[in-house]
Chains A and B, each alone.
Chain A
Amino acid sequence: MHPVASQGTDHGHSIRLYLLVWGWLFVLSACSYLVDYFHLQGILRWSLILLFMIVKAGLIMAVFMHLAWERLALIYAILAPPIAILIFAAIMTAEASYTFLTRLNVLAGQ
Protein backbone atom coordinates (compact mmCIF):
# COMPACT_ATOMS: atom_id res chain seq x y z
CA MET A 1 0.00 0.00 0.00
CA HIS A 2 1.61 3.20 -1.16
CA PRO A 3 1.26 6.00 1.40
CA VAL A 4 0.04 8.67 -1.00
CA ALA A 5 -1.95 6.44 -3.31
CA SER A 6 -4.08 5.06 -0.45
CA GLN A 7 -7.25 7.13 -0.76
CA GLY A 8 -9.32 5.30 1.79
CA THR A 9 -11.88 4.85 -0.92
CA ASP A 10 -10.38 2.09 -3.03
CA HIS A 11 -10.12 -0.41 -0.19
CA GLY A 12 -12.47 -2.36 1.97
CA HIS A 13 -15.56 -2.34 -0.17
CA SER A 14 -16.03 -6.06 0.00
CA ILE A 15 -19.69 -6.82 0.58
CA ARG A 16 -18.67 -9.92 2.54
CA LEU A 17 -16.88 -7.83 5.17
CA TYR A 18 -19.84 -5.47 5.51
CA LEU A 19 -22.25 -8.37 5.97
CA LEU A 20 -19.93 -9.91 8.56
CA VAL A 21 -19.75 -6.65 10.54
CA TRP A 22 -23.50 -6.16 10.16
CA GLY A 23 -24.12 -9.63 11.58
CA TRP A 24 -21.77 -9.00 14.50
CA LEU A 25 -23.52 -5.71 15.31
CA PHE A 26 -26.82 -7.60 15.52
CA VAL A 27 -25.29 -10.29 17.73
CA LEU A 28 -23.65 -7.75 20.06
CA SER A 29 -26.86 -5.69 20.33
CA ALA A 30 -28.81 -8.84 21.14
CA CYS A 31 -26.20 -9.67 23.79
CA SER A 32 -26.51 -6.24 25.42
CA TYR A 33 -30.30 -6.63 25.41
CA LEU A 34 -29.96 -10.06 27.04
CA VAL A 35 -27.84 -8.49 29.80
CA ASP A 36 -30.93 -6.47 30.73
CA TYR A 37 -33.39 -9.31 30.04
CA PHE A 38 -31.67 -11.67 32.48
CA HIS A 39 -31.29 -8.90 35.10
CA LEU A 40 -27.54 -9.28 35.48
CA GLN A 41 -26.34 -6.90 38.18
CA GLY A 42 -23.21 -5.33 39.59
CA ILE A 43 -19.75 -5.39 38.05
CA LEU A 44 -20.73 -8.14 35.58
CA ARG A 45 -23.53 -5.97 34.14
CA TRP A 46 -21.40 -2.83 33.81
CA SER A 47 -18.40 -4.57 32.32
CA LEU A 48 -20.53 -6.47 29.77
CA ILE A 49 -22.46 -3.32 28.76
CA LEU A 50 -19.24 -1.32 28.33
CA LEU A 51 -17.50 -4.18 26.50
CA PHE A 52 -20.34 -4.59 23.96
CA MET A 53 -20.56 -0.79 23.57
CA ILE A 54 -16.85 -0.38 22.82
CA VAL A 55 -16.70 -3.34 20.41
CA LYS A 56 -19.78 -2.05 18.51
CA ALA A 57 -18.39 1.49 18.34
CA GLY A 58 -15.05 0.15 17.14
CA LEU A 59 -16.64 -1.98 14.41
CA ILE A 60 -18.78 0.92 13.15
CA MET A 61 -15.86 3.36 13.08
CA ALA A 62 -13.26 1.00 11.65
CA VAL A 63 -15.30 -0.70 8.93
CA PHE A 64 -18.51 1.25 8.22
CA MET A 65 -16.83 4.67 8.52
CA HIS A 66 -13.69 3.34 6.73
CA LEU A 67 -11.39 4.64 9.44
CA ALA A 68 -9.25 1.51 9.15
CA TRP A 69 -8.32 2.54 5.62
CA GLU A 70 -7.67 6.22 6.31
CA ARG A 71 -4.23 7.65 6.93
CA LEU A 72 -2.72 7.92 10.40
CA ALA A 73 -2.84 11.74 10.32
CA LEU A 74 -6.65 11.63 10.04
CA ILE A 75 -7.13 8.68 12.42
CA TYR A 76 -5.27 10.41 15.22
CA ALA A 77 -6.93 13.78 14.55
CA ILE A 78 -10.28 11.99 15.12
CA LEU A 79 -9.39 9.61 17.95
CA ALA A 80 -7.08 11.76 20.11
CA PRO A 81 -9.37 14.75 20.97
CA PRO A 82 -12.14 12.61 22.57
CA ILE A 83 -9.59 11.73 25.28
CA ALA A 84 -10.49 15.20 26.63
CA ILE A 85 -14.08 13.93 27.08
CA LEU A 86 -12.81 11.02 29.18
CA ILE A 87 -10.77 13.42 31.34
CA PHE A 88 -13.84 15.65 31.70
CA ALA A 89 -15.88 12.61 32.75
CA ALA A 90 -13.26 11.76 35.38
CA ILE A 91 -13.35 15.32 36.75
CA MET A 92 -17.15 15.32 36.87
CA THR A 93 -17.14 11.94 38.67
CA ALA A 94 -15.21 13.56 41.51
CA GLU A 95 -17.48 16.62 41.41
CA ALA A 96 -20.68 14.51 41.44
CA SER A 97 -19.43 12.45 44.39
CA TYR A 98 -18.71 15.66 46.27
CA THR A 99 -22.22 16.99 45.53
CA PHE A 100 -23.75 13.67 46.61
CA LEU A 101 -21.90 13.63 49.93
CA THR A 102 -22.76 17.28 50.56
CA ARG A 103 -26.43 16.53 49.94
CA LEU A 104 -26.32 13.54 52.32
CA ASN A 105 -24.75 15.80 54.96
CA VAL A 106 -27.35 18.53 54.56
CA LEU A 107 -30.28 16.08 54.45
CA ALA A 108 -28.99 14.30 57.59
CA GLY A 109 -28.92 17.61 59.45
CA GLN A 110 -32.54 18.42 58.70
Chain B
Amino acid sequence: MTETVLPPLPTVDGPPSRWRRFSGEWAADRQAFAGASWRKAMMWIFLLSDTFVFGCFLIGYMTVRMSTTVPWPNASEVFALEIGGTELPLILIAIMTFVLISSSGTMAMAVAQGYKRNRRATALLMLATAVLGATFVGMQAFEWTKLIREGVRPWTNSWGAHQFGSTFFMITGFHGTHVTIGVIVLAIVARKVWRGDFDVGRRGFFTSQRGGYENVEIAGLYWHFVDLVWVFIFALFYLW
Protein backbone atom coordinates (compact mmCIF):
# COMPACT_ATOMS: atom_id res chain seq x y z
CA MET B 1 0.00 0.00 0.00
CA THR B 2 1.34 3.39 -0.87
CA GLU B 3 0.22 6.65 0.62
CA THR B 4 -1.17 8.90 -2.08
CA VAL B 5 0.21 12.40 -2.00
CA LEU B 6 -2.20 14.85 -3.54
CA PRO B 7 -1.54 18.30 -4.85
CA PRO B 8 -3.37 21.07 -2.99
CA LEU B 9 -6.81 21.98 -4.26
CA PRO B 10 -6.82 24.66 -6.97
CA THR B 11 -7.35 28.08 -5.50
CA VAL B 12 -8.93 31.07 -7.19
CA ASP B 13 -7.97 33.78 -4.74
CA GLY B 14 -6.37 33.05 -1.44
CA PRO B 15 -6.54 29.80 0.53
CA PRO B 16 -9.91 27.96 0.31
CA SER B 17 -12.36 28.33 3.18
CA ARG B 18 -13.13 25.56 5.67
CA TRP B 19 -16.35 24.61 3.90
CA ARG B 20 -14.85 24.90 0.40
CA ARG B 21 -12.19 22.41 1.49
CA PHE B 22 -14.79 20.14 3.08
CA SER B 23 -16.93 19.97 -0.07
CA GLY B 24 -13.83 19.66 -2.24
CA GLU B 25 -12.58 16.66 -0.28
CA TRP B 26 -15.86 14.81 -0.68
CA ALA B 27 -16.91 15.94 -4.15
CA ALA B 28 -13.87 16.37 -6.36
CA ASP B 29 -13.23 12.68 -7.10
CA ARG B 30 -10.36 12.62 -4.66
CA GLN B 31 -9.26 10.51 -1.74
CA ALA B 32 -11.74 11.70 0.90
CA PHE B 33 -9.57 11.21 4.01
CA ALA B 34 -6.39 12.60 2.47
CA GLY B 35 -4.96 13.68 5.82
CA ALA B 36 -5.36 10.30 7.54
CA SER B 37 -3.59 7.13 6.51
CA TRP B 38 -5.73 4.19 5.43
CA ARG B 39 -4.94 2.43 8.70
CA LYS B 40 -6.26 5.28 10.77
CA ALA B 41 -9.31 5.81 8.53
CA MET B 42 -10.18 2.10 8.79
CA MET B 43 -9.87 2.16 12.58
CA TRP B 44 -12.21 5.17 12.71
CA ILE B 45 -14.74 3.41 10.50
CA PHE B 46 -14.55 0.29 12.70
CA LEU B 47 -15.07 2.45 15.78
CA LEU B 48 -18.07 4.08 14.10
CA SER B 49 -19.63 0.64 13.52
CA ASP B 50 -18.90 -0.26 17.15
CA THR B 51 -20.63 2.97 18.18
CA PHE B 52 -23.77 1.63 16.54
CA VAL B 53 -23.46 -1.71 18.36
CA PHE B 54 -23.19 -0.02 21.77
CA GLY B 55 -25.79 2.55 20.72
CA CYS B 56 -28.28 -0.24 20.01
CA PHE B 57 -27.49 -1.94 23.34
CA LEU B 58 -28.09 1.27 25.25
CA ILE B 59 -31.30 1.97 23.33
CA GLY B 60 -32.47 -1.57 24.11
CA TYR B 61 -31.73 -0.93 27.78
CA MET B 62 -33.62 2.37 27.65
CA THR B 63 -36.61 0.70 26.01
CA VAL B 64 -36.98 -2.15 28.55
CA ARG B 65 -36.41 0.21 31.46
CA MET B 66 -39.02 2.70 30.25
CA SER B 67 -41.62 0.09 29.40
CA THR B 68 -41.56 -2.01 32.59
CA THR B 69 -44.24 -1.45 35.21
CA VAL B 70 -42.03 -2.98 37.94
CA PRO B 71 -39.63 -0.57 39.70
CA TRP B 72 -36.02 -0.67 38.45
CA PRO B 73 -33.39 -1.82 41.02
CA ASN B 74 -31.52 1.10 42.61
CA ALA B 75 -28.02 0.89 41.10
CA SER B 76 -26.66 3.03 43.93
CA GLU B 77 -27.57 0.30 46.44
CA VAL B 78 -26.97 -2.72 44.21
CA PHE B 79 -23.38 -1.70 43.55
CA ALA B 80 -22.63 -0.46 47.07
CA LEU B 81 -19.72 -1.98 48.96
CA GLU B 82 -18.95 -2.05 52.65
CA ILE B 83 -15.45 -0.74 53.22
CA GLY B 84 -14.18 -0.35 56.79
CA GLY B 85 -17.65 -0.66 58.25
CA THR B 86 -19.26 2.09 56.18
CA GLU B 87 -21.58 1.43 53.26
CA LEU B 88 -20.32 3.40 50.25
CA PRO B 89 -22.72 3.67 47.30
CA LEU B 90 -21.40 2.74 43.86
CA ILE B 91 -17.79 2.83 45.12
CA LEU B 92 -16.52 -0.09 43.02
CA ILE B 93 -17.87 1.48 39.83
CA ALA B 94 -16.25 4.80 40.76
CA ILE B 95 -12.88 3.10 41.28
CA MET B 96 -13.28 1.26 37.96
CA THR B 97 -14.00 4.59 36.25
CA PHE B 98 -10.87 6.15 37.73
CA VAL B 99 -8.76 3.15 36.71
CA LEU B 100 -10.01 3.38 33.13
CA ILE B 101 -9.44 7.15 32.96
CA SER B 102 -5.92 6.66 34.32
CA SER B 103 -5.28 4.11 31.57
CA SER B 104 -6.54 6.61 28.98
CA GLY B 105 -4.05 9.16 30.29
CA THR B 106 -1.09 6.77 30.11
CA MET B 107 -2.21 5.79 26.59
CA ALA B 108 -2.23 9.43 25.46
CA MET B 109 1.29 9.82 26.90
CA ALA B 110 2.38 6.65 25.07
CA VAL B 111 1.16 8.08 21.75
CA ALA B 112 2.98 11.35 22.41
CA GLN B 113 6.20 9.46 23.28
CA GLY B 114 5.73 7.29 20.18
CA TYR B 115 5.81 10.31 17.88
CA LYS B 116 9.01 11.42 19.60
CA ARG B 117 10.30 7.91 18.85
CA ASN B 118 11.14 7.24 22.50
CA ARG B 119 11.07 3.48 22.20
CA ARG B 120 11.33 2.51 25.86
CA ALA B 121 9.01 5.19 27.23
CA THR B 122 6.36 4.28 24.65
CA ALA B 123 6.51 0.55 25.42
CA LEU B 124 6.47 1.09 29.18
CA LEU B 125 3.54 3.51 29.04
CA MET B 126 1.60 1.08 26.84
CA LEU B 127 2.36 -1.69 29.28
CA ALA B 128 1.11 0.48 32.15
CA THR B 129 -2.08 1.06 30.13
CA ALA B 130 -2.49 -2.70 29.61
CA VAL B 131 -1.97 -3.37 33.34
CA LEU B 132 -4.60 -0.77 34.26
CA GLY B 133 -6.95 -2.32 31.68
CA ALA B 134 -6.39 -5.79 33.15
CA THR B 135 -7.11 -4.33 36.61
CA PHE B 136 -10.38 -2.99 35.27
CA VAL B 137 -11.36 -6.41 33.88
CA GLY B 138 -10.42 -8.02 37.20
CA MET B 139 -12.65 -5.61 39.11
CA GLN B 140 -15.45 -6.30 36.68
CA ALA B 141 -15.03 -10.06 37.28
CA PHE B 142 -15.29 -9.30 41.03
CA GLU B 143 -18.44 -7.27 40.43
CA TRP B 144 -20.04 -10.04 38.34
CA THR B 145 -19.16 -12.66 40.96
CA LYS B 146 -20.70 -10.56 43.71
CA LEU B 147 -23.91 -9.99 41.77
CA ILE B 148 -24.24 -13.61 40.67
CA ARG B 149 -23.78 -14.72 44.32
CA GLU B 150 -26.57 -12.29 45.27
CA GLY B 151 -28.83 -14.08 42.83
CA VAL B 152 -28.78 -11.77 39.78
CA ARG B 153 -29.48 -13.72 36.59
CA PRO B 154 -30.30 -12.52 33.08
CA TRP B 155 -33.90 -13.56 33.75
CA THR B 156 -34.37 -12.61 37.41
CA ASN B 157 -33.14 -10.69 40.44
CA SER B 158 -34.48 -10.00 43.90
CA TRP B 159 -34.66 -6.18 43.79
CA GLY B 160 -37.08 -5.33 41.01
CA ALA B 161 -37.47 -5.45 37.24
CA HIS B 162 -36.03 -8.66 35.80
CA GLN B 163 -34.72 -6.86 32.74
CA PHE B 164 -32.02 -5.38 34.99
CA GLY B 165 -29.97 -8.59 34.87
CA SER B 166 -30.21 -9.11 31.12
CA THR B 167 -29.19 -5.56 30.23
CA PHE B 168 -26.48 -5.49 32.91
CA PHE B 169 -24.77 -8.69 31.73
CA MET B 170 -25.14 -7.80 28.06
CA ILE B 171 -23.82 -4.23 28.24
CA THR B 172 -21.01 -4.66 30.79
CA GLY B 173 -20.09 -8.06 29.33
CA PHE B 174 -19.70 -6.65 25.84
CA HIS B 175 -17.70 -3.71 27.18
CA GLY B 176 -15.49 -6.03 29.26
CA THR B 177 -14.82 -8.10 26.13
CA HIS B 178 -13.69 -4.93 24.37
CA VAL B 179 -11.36 -4.05 27.25
CA THR B 180 -9.91 -7.59 27.20
CA ILE B 181 -9.25 -7.42 23.45
CA GLY B 182 -7.71 -3.97 23.97
CA VAL B 183 -5.34 -5.33 26.63
CA ILE B 184 -4.20 -8.07 24.23
CA VAL B 185 -3.70 -5.59 21.37
CA LEU B 186 -1.77 -3.21 23.64
CA ALA B 187 0.47 -6.04 24.80
CA ILE B 188 1.22 -7.08 21.20
CA VAL B 189 1.97 -3.53 20.02
CA ALA B 190 4.00 -2.79 23.17
CA ARG B 191 6.14 -5.86 22.47
CA LYS B 192 6.73 -4.67 18.91
CA VAL B 193 7.71 -1.21 20.14
CA TRP B 194 10.04 -2.66 22.79
CA ARG B 195 11.72 -4.93 20.23
CA GLY B 196 12.23 -1.94 17.90
CA ASP B 197 10.07 -3.28 15.06
CA PHE B 198 8.94 0.21 14.12
CA ASP B 199 12.52 1.54 14.07
CA VAL B 200 13.98 -1.14 11.78
CA GLY B 201 10.82 -1.71 9.67
CA ARG B 202 10.38 -5.36 10.59
CA ARG B 203 7.35 -6.95 8.96
CA GLY B 204 4.37 -7.92 11.13
CA PHE B 205 3.59 -11.59 11.82
CA PHE B 206 -0.01 -11.31 10.66
CA THR B 207 -0.21 -8.79 7.82
CA SER B 208 3.42 -8.86 6.63
CA GLN B 209 3.23 -5.06 6.55
CA ARG B 210 5.91 -2.76 7.87
CA GLY B 211 4.44 -0.88 10.82
CA GLY B 212 5.31 2.55 12.17
CA TYR B 213 4.78 4.47 15.36
CA GLU B 214 1.37 5.33 13.95
CA ASN B 215 0.33 1.83 15.05
CA VAL B 216 0.64 3.08 18.62
CA GLU B 217 -1.77 5.89 17.85
CA ILE B 218 -4.22 3.47 16.18
CA ALA B 219 -4.12 1.08 19.16
CA GLY B 220 -4.65 4.22 21.25
CA LEU B 221 -7.74 5.17 19.23
CA TYR B 222 -9.29 1.81 20.07
CA TRP B 223 -8.35 2.16 23.74
CA HIS B 224 -9.78 5.67 24.04
CA PHE B 225 -12.96 4.41 22.39
CA VAL B 226 -13.31 1.74 25.09
CA ASP B 227 -12.96 4.50 27.69
CA LEU B 228 -15.46 6.62 25.77
CA VAL B 229 -18.05 3.82 25.81
CA TRP B 230 -17.53 3.46 29.56
CA VAL B 231 -18.35 7.17 30.02
CA PHE B 232 -21.77 6.49 28.50
CA ILE B 233 -22.34 3.21 30.38
CA PHE B 234 -21.33 4.86 33.68
CA ALA B 235 -23.74 7.75 33.16
CA LEU B 236 -26.68 5.92 31.63
CA PHE B 237 -26.60 2.55 33.40
CA TYR B 238 -25.03 3.14 36.81
CA LEU B 239 -25.98 6.73 37.62
CA TRP B 240 -29.39 7.08 35.93
By a beta-carbon cutoff of 8 Å, the part of chain A in contact with chain B is: 2-4, 6-10, 13-15, 18-19, 21-22, 25-26, 29, 32-33, 35-37, 39, 45-46, 49-50, 52-53, 56-57, 60-61, 63-66, 70-74, 76-78, 81-82, 84-85, 88-89, 92-93, 95-97, 99-100, 103-104, 107
Contacts and interface: CB of A to CB of B under 8 A. Distances in A.
A92 B41 CA distance: 31
A96 B104 contact: no
A91 B61 CA distance: 14
A74 B47 CA distance: 13
B109 A74 contact: no
B34 A18 contact: no
B22 A85 contact: no
6 contacts: A8-B40, A13-B111, A32-B239, A66-B217, A78-B48, A103-B68
A71 B231 contact: no
A106 B54 CA distance: 32
- List the 5 closest A-B pairs by CB distance, nearest first: A96-B66, A53-B235, A85-B55, A99-B67, A22-B105
Interface string B96-107: 011001001101
Interface in B93-138: 94, 97-98, 101, 104-105, 107-109, 111-112, 115-116
A9 B231 contact: no
B170 interface: no
Contact of B18 (A29, A53, A72, A95): A72
Contact of B231 (A6, A15, A57, A63): A57
Contacts of B26: 73
A60 B18 contact: no
Contacts of B231: 53, 56-57, 60
Contact of B115 (A9, A25, A107): A9
A15 B109 contact: yes
B133 to A, nearest CB: 15
Contacts of B141: none
Interface in B19-47: 21-22, 25-26, 32-36, 40-41, 44-45, 47
Interface stretch (B175-183, B191-199, B222-230): B222-230
B237 to A, nearest CB: 11
